[in-house]
Amino acid sequence: MSLLKGFAARMRSLFASGASEARMEEEFRFHLTMETERLVALGLPADEAKRRAFVAFGGVDQHREAMRDGRGTRLLGDFLSDVRYALRAMRRSPGFALAVAVTLGVGIGVNGIVFGFVNTLLFRPIPARNADELVGVFTVDTKTGTAGLLAYQDFVDFRDRSGAFAGLAGETGVPLNLVGGSDGSSGSADMVWGGMVTENFFSVLGMRPVIGRLFAENDAPRGGNAFAVLSYESWKQRFHGDSSVVGRVVRLNGAEFTITGVAPPGFKGLRTFGFWPEMWIPVGMHNVIMPGSTNLLEQRGDGWIYVVGRMRPGWTMQRTQRAAGLFASQLATSYPATNATVGVTLLPGASGFDHPAFVKPRVLVLASTMGLFASIVTLLIICANLANMQLARAAARTQEIAIRLSLGCSRGRLARQLLAEALVLAIPGAVLATFVVRLGPWLEQFMMPHLQFRVGLGATSDYRVALFTAGVAILAVGLFGLAPALRASRPRLAPTAANVIGARARGARPRSRMRGLLVVMQLAMSVVLLVGGTLFVRSLVVARGMDVGFDPANRLLLSVNVGLQSYDAARGRRFYDEVLTRTRALPGVVTAAWAFPVPFDTYGRGVGFYVAGAQTNAKDGTIGTDASFVSDGFVKALGLRLQEGRELAAGDTAGAPRVMLVSRSLATRLWPGKNPIGQRARQGSASGPEVLVVGVVGDATFQSLGDRSHDRAYLSIRQSYRDWETLVVHTRAEPTSSLPQIRAIISGLDPTLPTFGVMTMEQSVGSGFATSRMAAGIAGFFAGLALLIAAVGLYAVVAGNVHERTREIGVRLALGSTPAGVLRFIMSGGARLATWGLCIGIVCAVGVARLMAGLLYGLSPSDPLTFALAPAVLVAVVVIATYLPARRAVKLDPIAALRSE
Amino acid sequence: MAVRHPLESDALRGSIDLLVLKALSLAPMHGWGIGLRIQQISRGRLEVNQGSLYPALQRLEHRGDIESAWQSTENNRRARYYTITRQGRKALGEEVDKWKRFADTIALVLES
């Protein structure tokens, strides 16, 4: 009991050291007063009594210190003085401190970023209640094993009658024409992706809204529940986080919906890989959202719902799977026409609710594991380098340490001091790392293909990332601080004595060879990365100058989706014609045409052609190719090159014979060695409508510069109607100057029709380069990082060498060696390592460049400029990294050097 | 008056603890009073360096052998009074036994 009290007293004094100090002073004062009074009472004069009282008390300061020691505040005080000492040392060598901060910060930060991605891939945090009870529910063909999605009627039976789940809900992606985004004006109209969900979706997930409320089953009768729930991001960005958004009415695909609430932050739909829905709408409104989809809720067998199930309390996946499988076989007996081979399969919710046929898992898991491994190895190398540098610095202080040890400084105390120094050095790095980690989401936007809608992993910085990064940081500090601390505090009195005879160098050899090997590896790696990065950057430069086959200058793009406005084909064609006529009449416009997809579009379309006699692997005998659905005048509007035949004309209407243009590549593929003009192909299948080739256009780049294939057919929208098209306007001046007039034309025809994807063709092409730019950026970044790490490593080795050979250098200088000679002698050690690193690196780089060949546009993987530039940069860095410590050797005073150690 | 240097050896530190416990075993007392009492008990032969009492008091309090609280003295001054705990009494008993055995042994050796 009293032990506890004693402990409490100790804690009190530790945490309230101010109070303890005050108590101590008061006790001392009381004591001295009493003693003085006693002495006065014995007859001494007041002054003398006071003096004697002090003498009898002994050194007041000494007692104070003893009490502070006893309170344990000594540790803290020591630590603070260590920190002060370390800060002074840091000010003395800011370059070192900077190197530590940058390499450690980037090293830890990269670990955090990589883990952020891995976290999203492996643990996909969904802000749902008890997320571990959630499973993805998919169909599986009992004959072929092919996975698929549930149909609505089957879903309803599973939900209401199977008893296998505590709750079952579903979601599917739908495109939405949104009008009234932020201020209700038609200018804010946009096409966005939404999630059409069963009414119980949010209640099964157990989510809470940020504001407002989410859907509930009994909100309103189906078809009357025109409600929308916004995603958190959409609310923040499109609606500026305005909380009055609840209750606002927006138009979706032409119908009015009331916003009821905002979903929790971080919720981007169930699927990891899919469009991020901006809002969710109940499936009861399906006929408004997807006009004409009358039998959407009637189907069985093959379906469209991504289903999430909540397992019953205490049930395992296996048990749930068995129950669901049993029910699936009951359905198979009840509905043999549709469900005979429909089984059911469950996937753990943590795997992301993606379609099981989606090829995500192994490759990505492998890639992320490797990424994590690589970044940890990088950090380990960084730590080894920093430890080496600390050792080199500690070596310089051998004398100081030896003296302190012999003066009775405890070894623990010394180790604590060195550790404190490491900590002080590491803190700026750790702070930097927290900023680097935040770059993760920003980096992702470059790594993901640029699309009109947001997709991606949405790497989140949740507690796991924070924990991981903190763990990594602590590990790093421990590694780079503890090793030198342990080594330096080893009693070195004997070796120091031995140094006088100069017998020390031998023992140091294996260690420095190890260090040398590490540096050679680092240099080799940075050569590889430098070459890779330079190749990417050079390729980008070359590619930007490459011919894309069309003219991006002065072209404005603007897309519409009239299908979502419930236009039929006739109305759609009338709309397209009217827009073209009016736009072409604008004064600033050269010409205009409809096309979809346009070059560098977010979307792609394909079509199959049956050509008599042509070889193909497809079961139906067709040959697949990319296709664009275009209006007349598209060749001029896009600035394509018409090589043979004619352009589409206004006369190529629905009633006229079907015609198309083909790219040169497609012409060569379908009719090798023949004149393509006048050739015929059947669209879709051997019995499909016959299409006549009337023209050939030059190959154009439509997707990315890495396009393997330039096969493309250009079909007429008058003959093959499409409800989603992009208006391409060739303007005389700056393209966006015509935008208001074009918008006016469209809203004049249909004020509720949103336009989206508005940009210039040059912007679109530019964003097409984003991925390669990012690849170049990442490669460049890692090349720079590797170079920095290697430079720090080399510096540490050379600096360590200089310290260890101070005596030898002194002897050389004393025997008449010139400073230049010493410089050469020291730098030659570094140069030897650099040569090895360079040679190994070049050999590896040649191999890696070969592997990269497929990613380089218009550049040979053995590009001579690259292979000259990268080593040159490396050599420059090597010279600097060795010169700095070598210079210190030259500046040594020979006498002092001889006396050293 | 001759200045007595404190004997800061472990042996003395241990004996100060013992003396303090012994002094407090009679009645609760403040720091100055404890010093005085030790002097009186030892009839002036043991003069503890007065200031070094306080680290010892702190140490004993942390160990749980004594407790302390602010109280008023007879002349109405505020002073920190120390009280021996049950654990302290036990420790005192053990220490006293140890000392006695030690002193007996030494005496045995010296007298033989």
Q: Encode pLDDT of A381-440 as tens digits.
A: 777 777 777 766 666 666 666 776 666 666 667 777 777 777 787 788 888 887 877 777
Contact A372, A155 (CB under 8 A): no
Cβ-based burial of A41 (10 A; exposed 0-12, middle 13-18, buried ≥19): exposed
**A–B interface: beta-carbon pairs under 8 A:** 88
* A6 and chain B in contact, CB less than 8 A: yes
- Return the percentage of chain A with pLDDT > 70, whole number: 80
Chain A residue numbers with beta carbons less than 8 Å from the beta carbon of B20 are none
Q: How far is B102 from chain A (nearest CA, A)?
A: 27
- Residue A192 DSSP one-character state: E
Q: What pLDDT score does A604 carry?
A: 74
Share of chain B above pLDDT 70, in %: 85
User: Would you state the pLDDT for residue B15?
Assistant: 77
Task: Mention every residue, 6+ apart, whose C-beta is less than 8 A from residue B75.
Answer: none
Please check the confidence at residue A265 and state whether its pLDDT lies above 70: yes
How far does the CA of residue A410 sit from the closest CA of chain B (Å)? Answer: 19
CA-nearest residue to B7 within chain A is A58
What pLDDT was estimated at residue A500?
A: 41
Q: Which residues of B touch A69 (CB under 8 A)?
A: 55
Say which range, A91-95, A169-173, A606-610, has the weakest mean pLDDT.
Answer: A91-95
Q: What is the pLDDT of residues B39-91, one digit of tens each?
A: 887 777 766 678 888 888 888 888 888 998 888 888 888 889 999 999 999 98
- Among residues A743, A695, A681, A715, the alpha carbon closest in space to that of A597 is found at A715
Contact B6, B49 (CB under 8 A): yes
Is A187's pLDDT higher than 50? no
For A33, the closest chain B residue by CA position comes to B32
pLDDT the model gives residue A636: 92
Q: Find, in chain A, the residue whose alpha carbon is nearest to that of B63.
A: A6
**Position A458 confidence tier, pLDDT thresholds 50, 70, 90:** low
pLDDT tier at A830, thresholds 50, 70, 90: confident
Q: Which structure tokens are listed for A38?
A: 């006693």
Q: Which of A7, A23, A63 sits opposite B51 (nearest CB)?
A: A63
Q: How far is CA A224 from CA A197, A253, A285, in A?
A: 15, 16, 7
Q: Which residue has the higher pLDDT, A726 or A803?
A: A726
Q: What are the structure tokens assigned to A71, written together?
A: 């309170």
* Residue B58 near chain A (CB below 8 Å): yes
Residue B48 contacts A where some CB pair is shorter than 8 Å:
no
List the domain boundaries for chain B.
Answer: 10-111
Pairing mode, strands A279-282 and A190-197: parallel
Structure tokens at A401: 């340490």
Taking the CA of residue B51 and the nearest CA in chain A, the distance in Å comes to 4
Q: Is A65 on the interface with B (CB under 8 A)?
A: no
Amino acid at position A24, single letter: M
Would you put residue B17 in left (φ > 0), alpha (ψ -120 to 50) or beta? alpha
Query: What is the β-pairing status of strands A555-561 and A165-179?
Result: unpaired
Q: What is the pLDDT of residue A847?
A: 85
Helix-helix angle A398-406:A411-447, to 10 degrees: 140
H-helix or E-strand containing A307? strand A306-311
Residue A852 CA: distances (Å) to CA of A539, A837, A846 = 11, 21, 10
Q: Residue A278 in contact with residue A269, Cβ under 8 Å?
A: no
Exposure string for B51-66, b = 16+ CB within 10 A, e = fewer: bbbbbbbbbbbbbbbb
d(CA A49, CA A42): 9
A43 touching B (Cβ < 8 Å): no
Which one of A27, A55, A70 has the shortest CB-CB distance to B31? A27
Paired strand residues for A174? A194
Percent of chain A with pLDDT over 90: 15
Q: What is the pLDDT of residue A503?
A: 40
Residue A450, pLDDT above cutoff 70? no
Instruction: Give the amino acid at A806.
Output: T
- Chain A residue at shortest CA distance from B81: A27
The answer as to CATH 2.60.40.10 being correct for domain B10-111 is no
Return the SS3 of A855: helix
Look at the block and give the residue holding tokens 């840091």.
A90
Q: Nearest 5°: phi and psi at A478?
A: -60, -45
Residues A882 and A888: their CA atoms lie apart, in Å, by 10
Across the interface, whether the CB atoms of B80 and A38 are under 8 A apart is answered: no
Contact residues on chain B for A55, CB-CB shorter than 8 A: 1, 3
The Cα A872–Cα A880 span in angstroms is 13
Residue A828 to residue A825: CA distance in whole angstroms: 5
Q: Is A274 helix (H, G, I), strand (E, B) or coil?
A: coil
Beta bridge partners of B80: B70
Q: What is the pTM of this model?
A: 0.57
B77 at the A interface (CB within 8 A)?
yes
Q: Where are the beta strands (DSSP E) in B31-103?
A: 66-72, 78-84
> What span, in angstroms and rounded, lies between the C-alpha atoms of A887 and A881?
11
Tokens standing for residue A697: 């256009």
pLDDT for A825 beyond 50: yes
Checking phi first, is residue A366 left (phi over 0); if not, alpha (psi -120 to 50) or beta? Answer: alpha
Do A70 and B61 lie within an 8 Å CB cutoff? no
Give the DSSP letter of residue A859.
-
Measured between CA atoms, how close is B32 to chain A, in angstroms? 5
Which residues are B44's β-sheet partners? none
Residues of A in contact with B52 (CB under 8 A): 58, 63, 66
Structure tokens given for A825:
């002698």
Contacts of residue A9 in chain B, CB cutoff 8 Å? Answer: 61-62
**Which of B3, B67, B79 lies at the smallest CB-CB distance from A30?**
B79
ipTM score: 0.85
Distances (CA, A) of A310 to A136, A155, A604, A859, A884: 9, 14, 36, 53, 64
Shortest distance, CA A38 to any CA of chain B (angstroms): 10
Of the CA atoms within 13 Å of residue A463, those in its CB half-sphere come to: 0
For chain B, the 3-state helix, strand and coil shares in percent, each to the nearest 5, are 60, 15, 25
Cis preceding linkage at A491, omega within 30: no
Q: Residues B62, B37: contact at Cβ < 8 Å?
A: no
State the smallest CA–CA distance between residue A56 and chain B in angstroms: 6
CA distance B49 to chain A (A): 6
Structure tokens at A529: 């990365």
Give the best residue of B62, B65, B72 to mutate against chain A (max A CB count within 10 A). Answer: B62
- Dihedral (Cα; A862, A864, A865, A870), 10-degree rounding: 70
Q: Is B7 on the interface with A (CB under 8 A)?
A: no
Contact (CB<8Å) B54/A67: yes
Rounded mean pLDDT, A270-274 = 74
- Is A62 an 8 Å CB contact of chain B? yes
pLDDT band, residue B7 (cuts 50/70/90): very low
C-alpha torsion sign, points A878, A884, A887, A889: negative
